[in-house]
Structure 1
Amino acid sequence: MITVAFAKGRTMEGVLPLWQRAALPVPTDLDESRALVFEEPSDTYGTVRFLLAKPADVPTYVSFGVADIGVVGKDVLYENPRDVYELLDLQAAACKLCVAGPPAEREKRPRRVATKYPRLADQYFRSQGESVELVGLSGSIELAAVIGLADRIFDLVQTGATLAANGLVVFDEVLDVSARLIANRSSYRLKKAAIDRITSGLKTALEGGWKA
């Protein structure tokens, strides 16, 4: 059995088409069910078990061996480093980690920054020689700038539509982010052939080839 931890939401939606092009098993009711664990029989891999988890939890499941491999955004790996192998840039669910805020704040010194990424935000603003107060939030970060809780936000931006709809603009693009395939170190040794086969299939799909 191979157990795969998938980050729910934007990452999974971006990666699934690639996963399917690589002819890897996918549960048929993945989009319809509220279940968090799926098992899909496979002639190649035996049974593939899928765990649907919050993005921040995927590296934890993989590092502790609950999942053999995982699919998660690079932003999560930067923010919460874990002892895992990073096998492949899946070039999906691409976005940028940005500093943004109301246009009137652009030329002012930052004072308070709302973010889901306190570690990365602290590193960034220190590198800019700025001392800021970080406000940790887990919901819609844009709201903090709209209502005046913060004069900056430090968050992922995909299309910029949400920023524009709320009167915010990007001040700086900090990091390019995309989904990554990661593996548990012990699993990679014990199940190397299966994990390498999955990685190879995804590489072929990325290069425009297809094994269907």
Structure 2
Amino acid sequence: MSSPLTIAMPKGRIFEEAADLLRAAGFALPAEFDDSRKLIVDVEAENMRFILAKPMDVTTYVEYGVADLGIAGKDVMLEEERDVYELLDLKISKCHLAVAGLPNAIRDEVAPKVATKYPNVASSYFREQGEQVEIIRLNGSIELAPIVGLADRIVDIVSTGQTLKENGLVELEHIEDITSRLIVNPVSYRLKDERIDEIVTKLASVLEG
């Protein structure tokens, strides 16, 4: 038997939706796969190995060839700009990147402070708008920044908008729609193209159906 195909998967909601999609495409993932606390899970029946990682790390594992394939949010791909190929829009975990802030915030400030865990995306966006801003990188609870006065605005993922609302914030600008994508290491795609194309075909069939 050939070496297993290694797939990097993000933990959390994307993982659950991706696992359901793989099952719908005919891959026999065991029930305990969803509840496993292991960081590496082997599925011998499919000759697959899954690496369970933080969402921001998936593209890194794929770029460096530790994983052949990965499932990553478009937000991560935009921020990290890794050397990977995007094979398929999986159309799961739909959300969008947005600028948000307090509803009564003054908008004519000079070089406003913008808090985000997407500094590259935020810098690029505001540069395209011709606006000079100061980027403050945070790793969590981005909504807290305007409330405590750390930043004038934030750039973050918005799904339902409920978190913004609960923290007294409003969406100010829509940046880009986000879904999860199937990505591949360029070398793996050359060496394992038949196996990878088979997976893409099965997933695409489910998405089209």
Q: Unpaired runs of 5+ in structure 1?
A: none
Code of the aligned partner of 2:60 = T
What is aligned with 1:51?
51
Aligned pairs (5 A) from 1:90-105: 90-105=90-105
Q: Is the 8 A contact 1:97 1:155 kept in 2?
A: yes
Structure 2 letter corresponding to 1:179 = S
Tell me the SS of whatever aligns to 2:165.
helix
- Give the letter aligned to residue 66 of structure 2: V
Provide the residue aligned with 2:121 in structure 1: 120
Alignment of 1:148-159 (within 5 A): 148-159=149-160
CA shift, 1:31, in A, is 2.9
C-alpha separation in 1, matches of 2:106 and 2:77: 29
Deviations 1:92-137 (A, max 9, x none): 1111000001001164436111100101101111122221111101
1:187 matched to 2:185? The reply is no
Q: Counterpart of 1:85?
A: 85
Q: Structure 1 residues 137 and 27 mapped into 2: Cα distance closer, same or farther (>3 Å)?
A: farther
Match of 2:5 among 2, 10, 13: 2
Moved more, 192-201 or 19-28: 19-28
Aligned residues of 2:16 and 2:34 also touching (Cα < 8 A): no
How many residue pairs get aligned? The number is: 205
- Change in Cα spacing, 1:105 to 1:14, as seen in structure 2 (3 Å) is farther
Identify which of 7, 17, 32 aligns with 1:29: 32
State the shift of 1:11 in Å. Answer: 2.0
Indicate the residue corresponding to 2:41 in structure 1.
Answer: 38
- Cα gap change, 1:106 to 1:202, in 2 (>3 Å): farther
Identical pairs, percent: 51
RMSD between aligned alpha carbons?
Answer: 1.4
- Please say if residues 5 and 51 of structure 1, whose CA atoms lie closer than 8 Å, have aligned partners that are also in contact: yes
Partner Cα separation in structure 2 for residue 4 and residue 112 of structure 1: 38
TM-score by length of 2: 0.93
**Which structure 2 residues correspond to residues 138-177 of structure 1 after superposition, within 5 A?**
138-177=139-178
